[in-house]
Amino acid sequence: MKKIKQNALSQKMGDVFHYYVAIKLLLDNNSWNKCQIEQSGDIALFDQDDKQIYNIEVKHHESKNELKVYEEEFLKTLSNWFDIRNLFNENTKLILMTTSTISSGNPLEYWNQFDSNKKYKTIHENQTKTDGTHYVNISKYFHKINKNTNDLKGILAKFDIQHSLFNILEIRNEIKQTSHFRLFGNNEVKKDKVVDDLYGLIGRGLENKDKWEITKSKFDQKLIESTALIQDKILRSDSSINTQDIDTNITSYKDKQFIQKLENIEFEEDIFQSAIDDYAKTIIEVTERMSLSSSLEYDERLEKYDESLVKLVNDTKTEFRYKRNLTDIEKSQDSYFKIMNSTKIPFMPEEFDDKTTFFQKGYLHFLADDEAEPKKICWSLKPEDEI
């Protein structure tokens, strides 16, 4: 059997590491609009105005390397950025992200704290060997770009180093520690499923040889879809809410708009108290539910939930508007009871098996209490009160 001449595994590991670094960056940053891979650098992030906010070079090594100022990893990165310097603006950040280490005493130890002059001086002071000759990579990369000192210092001012990065397994675990994964608790299988979906999205960004791009909208959509599909079913009930510190005294709510709307259809204290109980617990429940979902999807789901409840109210009132032999007050009261006892509309994804007895009722009163849109939800079917 012939011996394999070249093992491509190390290159593949570098590619995998590159993908995971991209995922971590996209999860950690909110100001980007699109991400390009292997076009004007390993990873480039652009804002809404199509300006580069980050240009990142990613270096992966199987073994622990010491990053040296005179070696190719450092100098080729600097040279590459110098060559495309016209793509950057005053706010672009240039970052070398590497698994190489920088030990104590290394001239690069405090690199990120240096200004451009000190960075330039550091390279100059470390360009020669003990025998007085230049390191080969200094001649190959640095001397070529050192002819334009001002532009070179402009690049050095933007150039930071993140060294001693995690290996592939460790950076994968770092991704799973971000806030988007907290709803899965300690369920590593579900976290891995989401990471794999995002990894696949990075790969699918390669549309052709000239374009490898991921937009924030597609990334956020994939993150939402992946997390929503595998969330645990959560049973919520009256006992889920700690009511010890909730004020449900009717006198505390007598001036609230949602109570006045109940008075308008001639309900009395028994209905007021029930509405107040549901309303007060729902305020707490909304806060708790925010922690069950990533911030990416909460606002969108809340808006859809509002729309669904308003439609439920208006459809039911339309049905009762045509009831015969009932007064307007009777129609209003009967439609209110039907609305309150309606089938639950899911606030969270369908995967949440919601058994809450108060939330939908309380949220209806929450919407009825909206001072900005007082007619969004009204119970009265009197002609002068209708929306």
Q: Count the Cβ atoms, other than its own, within 10 Å of residue 6.
A: 7
Distance from C-alpha of 285 to C-alpha of 282, rounded to nearest angstrom = 5
Task: Using alpha carbons, list the distances in angstroms from residue 312 to 70, 267, 278, 285.
Answer: 70, 21, 18, 21
Please, which residues have CB within 8 angstroms of residue 360's CB and are 6 or more apart in sequence?
309, 342, 344, 345, 347
Distance from C-alpha of 142 to C-alpha of 233, rounded to nearest angstrom = 59
Provide the greatest CA pair distance for the chain: 108
Q: Which helix (H) or strand (E) holds 35?
A: strand 34-37
Dump strand ranges (E) for 199-280: 206-208, 211-215
Report the pLDDT value the prediction gives residue 228, as an integer from 0 to 100: 67
Report the pLDDT value the prediction gives residue 294, as an integer from 0 to 100: 44
Please, which residues have CB within 8 angstroms of residue 254's CB and are 6 or more apart in sequence?
none
Per-residue pLDDT of the chain (387 residues; tens, 9 = 90+): 444 444 567 778 888 999 999 999 999 988 899 999 999 889 999 999 999 999 999 999 887 789 999 999 999 999 999 999 999 999 999 999 999 999 999 999 999 999 999 999 999 999 999 898 999 999 999 999 999 999 999 999 999 999 998 888 889 999 998 888 877 778 898 899 899 999 999 988 887 778 899 999 989 888 877 776 666 555 566 666 767 778 899 999 999 999 999 999 999 999 999 999 999 988 887 776 665 544 445 566 677 888 999 999 999 999 999 999 999 999 999 999 999 999 888 776 555 556 778 889 999 999 999 888 888 999 999 876 654
Q: Count the Cβ atoms, other than its own, within 10 Å of residue 13.
A: 15
* 336, 275 Cβ separation under 8 angstroms: no
Q: Tell me the angle at which helices 295-321 and 359-368 cross, rounded to the nearest 10 degrees.
A: 80
| Bridge partners, 96 (sequence order) | 57, 161
Report the pLDDT value the prediction gives residue 386, as an integer from 0 to 100: 56
pTM score over 0.75:
no
